[in-house]
Structure 1
Amino acid sequence: MTGLLVLTAVPAEAEAVRAGLTDPTVTVRAIGVGPAVAGATTARLLALAEAAGRPYRAVVSAGIAGGFAGRAPVGGTVLASRSVAADLGAESPTGFIPVDELGMPPELLGGGPTIDADPALLGALRAALPAAVVGAVLTVSTVTGTAASTTALADRHPDAVAEAMEGYAVAVAAAQAGIPFAELRTVSNPIGPRDRDGWRMREAFTALTEAARALS
């Protein structure tokens, strides 16, 4: 079994992770933005490694995220207790209906709309990153950008600390391959109405490099 596979959405995130690593057996790849490309590319990487007789020991989805105000500070680090397909479901006159409440069996959902982080992997990351905020990290296809949608999402997921666009998809691929999974994010901006002037990308990338030391 080879080392850890760390997957980011974009090259800048991958570079920030690599800058904090000291373990040469950790593989870092930028796999693209959004659940579709993230899930497909993760599955391909895991299948190729297994076919070559060098399966990875674990998979971590890492990168920058938006944080829920009052739950995860800008510039802070979050660890997912679970990765959630937050917009997989149906609209209704009374509000959003999660896909598991529509009668879909879990096996048709890759294990369900929520995948827990591997306890041992999460425990190791928590020990190495004691200041990190732990909670649900939501995966969305459309980034939240209004006060109303932010409130609705926070109310539906009271344990959510951040949202990103790839974690759940990577988690499904890892689960299908029987490989431990975790998600690590650093916060660049509060979730809500888009305010590019309020984003702190430099601080988030610096925090990502510092957090990546826990992956070595």
Structure 2
Amino acid sequence: MAAELEEVKLFGVWGSPFSRRVDIALKLKGVQYSYFEENLDDKSALLLKYNPIHKKVPVLVHNEKPVAESLIILEYIDETWKDNPFLPNDPYERAIARFWARFIEDKCMPALWKALWSNEEERDKAAEEASELLQILENELKDKKFFGGETVGLVDIAADFIGFWLGVFQEIVGLRLLTNEKLPKLYKWTQEFANHSVIKENLPPKDKLHAFFKGAIEGLAASK
């Protein structure tokens, strides 16, 4: 009976890879939830109530208890709903998965963002740094289907930007950071990730994402 009384809400933004991490995790777990789309230029009173410190998305609210920050939310989801676990049982393997999730969050994401959004003078250096980090992920993936092995795990979900968004950005800005020629294992992983039955249904429409960020990049360039 308790499960029937559970109330799960997610506050997010449609094009945010951080929000989509939580969408994907909830869908993989089969959790029913209500989704609230936020406008970060005009944040709702509920978002400010549930995340008064950072005032950012995503925010998961479980029975009126809010949890913020996407990686923390992913672990909360995994510990709360036990089916289809994202983390291994072995303590060492769990620690390793957490390490790589943080590596993606703290190292890869800032480097990729800088490479994609830098002006032409800074782009080559930023792209070189981003490529080196992607090579590290290529080496870590080895010959596994997913970072989690045969099933999607914490690291795969944390790497959703690399699995989908990066390809869209590469088309817009003309960079070729992640290709089948340069990083065949990681490239194959992106195909497995984006075509996973549950994940595919919960990624933003590629054409909409392309148009939105192309407009944002062109607007930024015009303002310089």
Higher strand share: 1
Higher helix share: 2
Task: Please indicate the TM-score interval, normalised by the length of the shorter structure.
Answer: under 0.3
- Using structure 1 for the length normalisation, give the TM-score: 0.28
Specify which structure has the bigger relative contact order, considering alpha-carbon pairs within 8 angstroms and separated by 6 or more residues. 1
Structure label with greater radius of gyration: 2
